[in-house]
Structure 1
Amino acid sequence: MWGVGNLIGPALGGLFAQLGWWRGAFGLLVVVGLVLAFLSRSALSHQADAGTQHPPLPWLSLILLTLAAGMFSVTSVLPRGLWTIGGLLAGVALMVVFVLRDRTASSTVLPKFTYLKGNKLKWIYLTLAALSAGAMTEAFIPLFGQELGGLMPLLAGFLGAALSVGWTISQLFSVNLDSAKAKRAVRLLGPLLLALGLLAYGLLKQQSADGWLVLLWAAILFVSGAGIGMSFPHFSVAAMSSTDDEEEGRKAAAGISTTQLIANAVASAFARILVNLGAPSVVDSARYMAFGIAAVALLGAIASFVSLRHSKPNSSV
């Protein structure tokens, strides 16, 4: 679902830009969003149980999370230097306060047992967040394709989708893995492959790139996306299997999408900060973004290693 969505987005955006009607892409999103909202409301109304008591929304945690994402976004347009450092520190501080609040609140954004000592779920969520952050580079790859590779908007959009093509194709093969050892291996190798791919992508950036180099960028992005796709489904299963309690398992599954949304909001703003730090040089902007998100992916690999240490050696999750 996420891979296909990230595949269609850049390609469709490139098509609208090629036609000179880029605002139409946002209009289309509004229409599609309204249709999906109506369909979702209709579908959920049939599943709702009138006798079920739903916990209150974790308003304070949600406000803190929104403020953190907003701070990262605002930092991307602040003057470089102390303002940028201050904005980043403020965003990180708000994320820390969010975690402290969420772990003690009666109603939480993430499942309560995420914060229990010795539970592997927190490390699984952190790895999923790092993998999701890697996909956020797609927002800027078409720009670099146009500015550094001389691509027309439509082709630049397809270049941006290369990462998601790798994600989608590798996931189709990865879900068929049966061996517990293989599943554990891809959970560790996936984030590492993403980190190495983005590192190589940044190192190969140059002005007025030849066609063969642009194709090499696409191949590297494909491999980077394969790192996401090979490991993502197995982290999802590991999250859902992190508890024997059926109700808590459902909460853990719901937390996967929550983690992705949080990561998407924060990582896209962080990537924008890195791009702006490199300005006015487009090459530096591309490298800063690639290296910065590669570092995030490397942290995800470390979190993956820790989560595997908390798993039983012969366990498939």
Structure 2
Amino acid sequence: MSESVITPKEAAPRLSSLFSRAYLFGTLMLGGGIMLHAVETYITATLMPSIVRDIGGLSLFAWATTIYVAASVLGSTFVAVRPEGVTLNRCYVFGAVLFGIGSLVCAIAPTMETVLIGRAIQGLGAGFLVALGYAFIRFVYPQPLWSTASTLYAAAWGIATFLGPTIGGIFAAGSDWREAFALLIPLSILMAVSAPKLLPSGEGERVTTKTPFVQIVLLVAAVVMLSFASSVTAPALRAALAAAAVIGVVVTIAIERRAEARLLPAGTISLASPLARVYLIMLMLLVTVCSDVYIPYFLQVLHGVTPLVSGYLVALLALGWTAAAFSTAGLKGRRANRVIIAGAALEALATALLVFTLARHNPAGDLMLLTLATVFIFLMGFGIGMGWAHLVTHVLHLAPSGETDKASAAITTMQALGAAFGAALAGIIVNSTGLLQPGGTEGAVTAARWLYAVLALPAALAILLAVTLPPEKAAPAD
């Protein structure tokens, strides 16, 4: 499909171009896979306070996100290092089936530990689906539509901002949350059955290497140690686990620099590589935005918001991402880079301002205070959305010859690591600053203030990297 010829007019970054006859089925499948992941994300965000009220496990709250995204690293990596003969559409089937199995485990889980097992299986499947969304772009669309196809994912997340919280809010009472997970099972089956019929095989030029097993194990271990650090109560043990996680990342980088079996494309370990800087920007922006894992909890505990409304409010973050993606999709060259910088600055500022709005006890339901917090939640998403599609386009253009699959899968790896480290760091911060001890309203206020003050910093650091990016390449006119 990628050989199809389009006119310059059709190459304009308009979402409607993706729904022409030539691309319709591919668009529906890729958008559907992202949608399945996105809707589930907001269902879980809305339901987590209800789940811990029903079966306990508040200290494991952040684990539901961390273990999900840690598992997705494994799924996304397999897409890049899959054995010869395993096509991309077969990977899609496998990912959809795993997602459905994980949803089933969550639906029948008697304890929080079992929920986490289901979330791990879901995450593994989601890693396949999201990585395949990026990997399929070059097979389904011509190059002038790559940036627009990346915007498609923002559209999927935008729709999910309404569907996810609605489904989660409807099933938030008592043990009804189980039914929300059960709804995802038939959708997963539908996607698995449709993939071989509606998607190209996805075989093309790629460099075949051994699986970077050691690097994967070390990264996942680092995420798990950070997650343990977020749930233990002893300060010394928490510090030791956090230090071990940092060592794991450093060792991974050292191995990746010299390894024959690489997790990332060649040359992306050094900051001298523009592709390395793009990946690092993605990682830091996502660490900051994943401070949203506790937004529903703080809205319900500090502002007296219902589960349904809190789900919609946190979903405004994704809505902001979607709105920004559409409004900036047409920018090219240095203008695209400038919007990446501006977006990182806006995300950092909006996150920091939640210290003064969301991190306040609001028993009277002061509408002005809640409105300001809502605006900043929206702007967090708007900031990252301003530059995300352009960062994706940078990756596709900067990928070394023959390593496009690996470069595309690495986008999902960065997303997964950013979300995993962001959620784990969020857990460490809130559990260290009062959420569990003294707990209650006082502890929640203190924890929220520290959380948003500290996690605004990664997005601020991303600004410094963004100013060094080369101009985005223009697509050739066919």
Name the TM-score class by shorter chain. 0.7 to 0.9
CA distance 1:140–1:251, shift in 2 (3 Å): same
Indicate how the Cα distance of structure 1 residues 231 and 52 shifts in structure 2: closer, same or farther if over 3 A, else same.
closer
Task: Measure, in 2, the Cα distance between the counterparts of 1:102 and 1:77.
Answer: 30
1:301 aligns with 463
Q: Name the residue aligned to 1:217.
A: 373
Is 1:267 aligned to residue 429 of structure 2?
no
Which residue number corresponds to residue 77 of structure 2? none
The superposition leaves residues 35-57 of structure 1 with CA deviations (integer Å, 9 ceiling, x where unpaired) of 545655777793457x9884221
- Report if the CA contact (8 A) 2:291-2:426 is conserved: yes
Q: 1:139 aligns with which of 282, 293, 315?
A: 293
Cα gap change, 1:186 to 1:288, in 2 (>3 Å)? same
TM-fit CA distance, 1:68: 0.7
Deviation at 1:117, TM superposition (A): 6.0
Give distance in 1, aligned partners of 2:273 and 2:196: 35
When residues 122 and 9 of structure 1 are mapped into structure 2, their CA distance, relative to the original with a 3 A threshold, is farther
Native 8 Å contact 1:240 1:250 kept in 2: no
1:251 matched to which residue of 2?
406
The residue number in structure 2 matching 1:125 is 279
Q: Does 1:111 align with 2:265?
A: yes
Cα distance per residue 1:246-272 (max 9 Å; x no partner): 423453233212211121222111112
Within the alignment, does 1:194 sit opposite 2:350 as a pair? no
Is 1:282 the counterpart of 2:438 in the alignment? Answer: no
Distance 1:303 1:36, change over 3 A: farther
Deviation (angstroms), 1:9: 4.2
1:93-129: per-residue Cα shift (whole Å, max 9, x none)?
Answer: 1111111112221111111220246211111111111
Alpha-carbon displacement from aligned partner over 1:195-237 (angstroms, at most 9, x marks no partner): 1100001222211251221111111111111100101111111
- Match for residue 16 of structure 1 among 156, 171, 175: 171
Q: What amino acid maps onto 1:194 in structure 2?
A: E
Aligned partners of 1:57, 1:45: CA distance in 2, in Å? 24
Q: State percent identity of aligned pairs.
A: 27
- Structure 1 residues 24-33 or 59-68, which shifts more? 24-33
> Counterpart in 1 of 2:318?
164
TM superposition shift of 1:162: 1.3
CA distance, structure 2, for counterparts of residue 181 and residue 11 of structure 1? 40
Contact 1:80–1:277 under 8 Å retained in 2: no
Return the letter of the residue paired with 1:199.
A
- Which deviates further from its counterpart, 282-291 or 110-119? 110-119
Q: Which runs of 5+ in 1 are unaligned?
A: none
Q: Which has the higher contact order (CA 8 A, sep 6+)?
A: 1
Q: Letter of the aligned partner of 2:223 in structure 1? A: A
Q: CA deviation at 1:59?
A: 0.9
User: Counterpart of 1:150?
Assistant: 304
Asked whether the 8 Å contact 2:166–2:308 carries over to 1, the reply is yes
Against the structure 1 CA distance between its residues 275 and 41, is the aligned structure 2 distance closer, same or farther, given a 3 Å change threshold? farther
The structure-2 alpha-carbon separation of the partners of 1:142 and 1:207, relative to structure 1 and needing over 3 Å to count, comes to same
Looking at structure 1, the residues matched to 154 and 252 of structure 2 have their Cα atoms a distance apart, in angstroms, of 26
| 8 Å Cα contact 1:11-1:161 kept in structure 2 | no
Q: CA deviation at 1:289?
A: 1.8
CA distance in 1, matches of 2:319, 2:348: 17
Larger displacement relative to structure 2 (154-163 or 128-137) = 128-137
Residue 30 (structure 1) shift: 5.4
Deviating more after overlay: 1-10 vs 155-164? 1-10
Q: Which residue of 1 aligns with 2:49?
A: none
Report the Cα offset of residue 161 of structure 1.
0.7
What's the CA shift for 1:71?
A: 0.5
What is the aligned residue count? 310
Within 1, Cα distance between the matches of 2:386 and 2:192? 31
Measure the CA separation in 1 of the matches of 2:155 and 2:266: 28
2:206/2:405 contact within 8 Å kept: no
Instruction: Give the aligned residue type for 1:190.
Output: G
CA distance in 2, matches of 1:275, 1:38: 42
Is contact 1:167–1:225 with CA below 8 Å preserved after alignment? Answer: yes
Pick closer, same or farther for the CA change 1:27–1:140 going to 2, 3 Å. farther
Match of 1:233 in 2: 389
Q: What is the one-letter code of the residue matched to 1:152?
A: T
Query: Alpha-carbon deviation of 1:303?
Result: 2.3
Higher alpha-carbon deviation: 116-125 or 38-47: 38-47
Query: Is the Cα contact below 8 Å between 1:4 and 1:164 reproduced in 2?
Result: no
Deviations 1:48-80 (A, max 9, x none): 57x988422111111111101111111111114
TM-score (norm. length: structure 2): 0.59
Which of 186, 207, 211 is matched with 1:57 structurally?
A: 211
Which residue identity lines up with residue 330 of structure 2 in the other structure?
N
Counterparts of 2:202 and 2:397 in 1: how far apart (Å)? 24
Letter in 1 for 2:179: G
Task: Give 2:360's match in structure 1, choosing from 194, 203, 206.
Answer: 206
Would the alpha carbon gap of residues 40 and 76 (structure 1) be closer, same or farther in structure 2, given more than 3 Å must change? farther
| SS at 1:55 equivalent | coil
The change in CA–CA distance for 1:45 and 1:189 in structure 2 (over 3 A counts) is closer
Q: TM-score, normalised by structure 1?
A: 0.87
Say if 2:283 and 2:418, in contact at 8 Å, map to a contact too. Answer: yes
Query: Structure 2: which amino acid aligns with 1:217?
Result: A
